[in-house]
Structure 1
């Protein structure tokens, strides 16, 4: 009886998950296909719910090495050779595992051996682990392979610091209260996201990038740098315990928000031309995503009156879900862009062909 109940439970869960996955993929694609240049009625089969299927697979050292030999004149593939298959990043999980193990060993040094010399390492690795792992994921996803590791790291360091400098400049111009009311949260959201947006535009224009995946990667690099340096600064202000919360919260904050904005900047500019001030106000494909990112940041920072930890955690969970959904939309739109530029015919699964014929 127990085995039968378990089997029924597994079958029910499998049925529910299949329905959720199909609807999710369809919703994601329905939005993404309206961002591209292809016919809105032309479906695409991407299945982003399977995106992380390679994480737990075994990979060789040569496969890992090939990920880093990109972005040079001899290793950047032509547009015809760019892969338009669904992206399945995996190496980022190894980066996270190494950083997480390093963090755990530093904790042993601090709490078992009472070595205060481990504190700077804890702050650095704790701030770096999640944002940098996410950055590596977006580096893998960039199917054009036209941005080198050196460019990525330069953008990560210089772009992260520059975005903080621009942020502090804006803060000097606007009245920021120490409270976390909706007004203050909105000002913080506008200031920080606008600062990152300005820096992302500078780097995209200077690198002369034109593809959605490129914009997402550059945005993620600047957002990750911003996140690392900001988290490190919060530790000096609020104590070491801050790193334990901010390190995990980074899965849905600055890196993700900036990646969305980077993709939106590419969507909002004229192809093979720089993003200009006019595009900021006249391109809905850009400013709609920009306003959504500001709303996500505001909602994250807002301390709703007369609520406790449960509501705060719910806010963060909602933020993370929406943020990642927008990331998947960008990835979907990026794959559509590859197919459009290559002039390929979008492949439709047999099941969907039958559904279309019935309609």
Structure 2
């Protein structure tokens, strides 16, 4: 039986490995304005290939000199090459090392003064690093660091205020049943969605990568402040679990919603209440984000920690897959707006680019 199980797992894994790189493109090609029969050359399997390479200080500096009138590139100069973010890993390393040093300060020297820093850095490390990744991925380079930090701080707090306003109007029970988990999922994702729409309309953004970045900023802010608040309720140990769990929660869900808002609105027009209810491409992704949140919060009866960890693992995989779909759709959008049509032959010859 063990041999049959291993052979079955090997067969399934081989199929997943062979088809994964195309699956996200098969979904994304139906989201954009391109002909669905024209694939785009995107190598998500090599997306993080630059993380372990050496980069100069000048390369890092150039990432942050964006979003101004003189540094925002024209559409013609926007890169449509596969995105390869790397700086976010340096941000995470700095925050992780800081977190470890604060742990040493607390446990070796019994210094309670380290606790506020431990809570803040622990809450910040993963969400803010993810935010930096989405900042790098925004190939349009039309959102400045000031706008990003404003959205992260103000948008994160504003989304919490909207959430608490909704909670006052809804029946939330203390037990984590499927009904309560669904109400929480709808409430929090709707609150973040409202704030994301506000900032997208405020900044007059029109590109998928822009929506993903604004969503990630608001989701990261929400995550940081919520995690910090949970410590006061459940104790310091909470920060050790929520810090690494943030890789697949609010930042990712809000980024999906942000990209979906751009997909759902008419280009160069604000997102309206009518768009919320009449645009299937937006509404499907919004409902998926709600379902991911609900599934994460749902405490399945009569199950242990193993099932809970499996829930989180499945949630993270699905969430990141949808992020890859958004990245794929975003690169398709660049090529469409630049008037290019990508043709990929099934042989090993280089793809042809036709001006159209």
TM-score normalized by structure 2? 0.94
Report the equivalent of 1:164: 160
Deviations 1:137-192 (A, max 9, x none): 00000000000000000000000000000000000000100000000000000000
The counterpart of 2:66, out of the listed 61, 67, 70, is: 70
Shift of 1:346: 1.1
Shift of 1:47: 1.4
Alpha carbons 1:219, 1:263 under 8 Å: kept: yes
Work out whether 1:305 is the aligned partner of 2:296. no
The counterpart of 1:115, out of the listed 105, 111, 116, is: 111
The alignment yields a C-alpha RMSD, in angstroms, of 1.7
Where structure 1 has 5 or more consecutive residues not aligned to the other structure, the ranges are: 1-12, 355-359
Report the equivalent of 2:175: 179
Q: Within 2, Cα distance between the matches of 1:91 and 1:128?
A: 16
Deviations 1:48-71 (A, max 9, x none): 111001000110110000000000
Alpha carbons 1:32, 1:333 under 8 Å: kept: yes
Q: Within 1, Cα distance between the matches of 2:32 and 2:18?
A: 21
Q: Within 1, Cα distance between the matches of 2:319 and 2:123?
A: 20
Shift of 1:352: 7.6
Shift of 1:22: 4.0
Shift of 1:345: 2.2
Work out whether 1:105 is the aligned partner of 2:101. yes
SS of the counterpart of 2:198? Answer: helix
Shift of 1:18: 7.7
Runs (4 or more) in structure 1 with deviation over 2 Å come to 13-22, 349-354
SS of the counterpart of 1:45? Answer: coil
SS of the counterpart of 1:346? Answer: strand
Q: Within 2, Cα distance between the matches of 1:200 and 1:253?
A: 16
The counterpart of 1:151, out of the listed 127, 144, 147, is: 147
SS of the counterpart of 1:345? Answer: strand
Q: Within 1, Cα distance between the matches of 2:209 and 2:293?
A: 22
Report the equivalent of 2:27: 31
The counterpart of 1:58, out of the listed 35, 38, 54, is: 54
The counterpart of 2:286, out of the listed 269, 285, 290, is: 290
What is the number of equivalent residue pairs in this alignment?
A: 342
Question: Cα distance 1:352–1:288, how it changes in 2: closer, same or farther (>3 A)?
Answer: farther
Q: Within 1, Cα distance between the matches of 2:13 and 2:117?
A: 41
Q: Within 2, Cα distance between the matches of 1:17 and 1:351?
A: 25
Report the equivalent of 2:38: 42
Report the equivalent of 2:4: none
Report the equivalent of 1:96: 92
The counterpart of 2:262, out of the listed 245, 261, 266, is: 266
Q: Within 2, Cα distance between the matches of 1:18 and 1:136?
A: 33
Where structure 2 has 5 or more consecutive residues not aligned to the other structure, the ranges are: 1-8, 351-356
Alpha carbons 1:45, 1:349 under 8 Å: kept: no
The counterpart of 2:188, out of the listed 166, 171, 192, is: 192
Shift of 1:46: 0.1
Alpha carbons 1:177, 1:184 under 8 Å: kept: yes
Q: Within 1, Cα distance between the matches of 2:285 and 2:348?
A: 29
Work out whether 1:340 is the aligned partner of 2:354. no
Question: Cα distance 1:293–1:249, how it changes in 2: closer, same or farther (>3 A)?
Answer: same
Alpha carbons 2:248, 2:320 under 8 Å: kept: yes
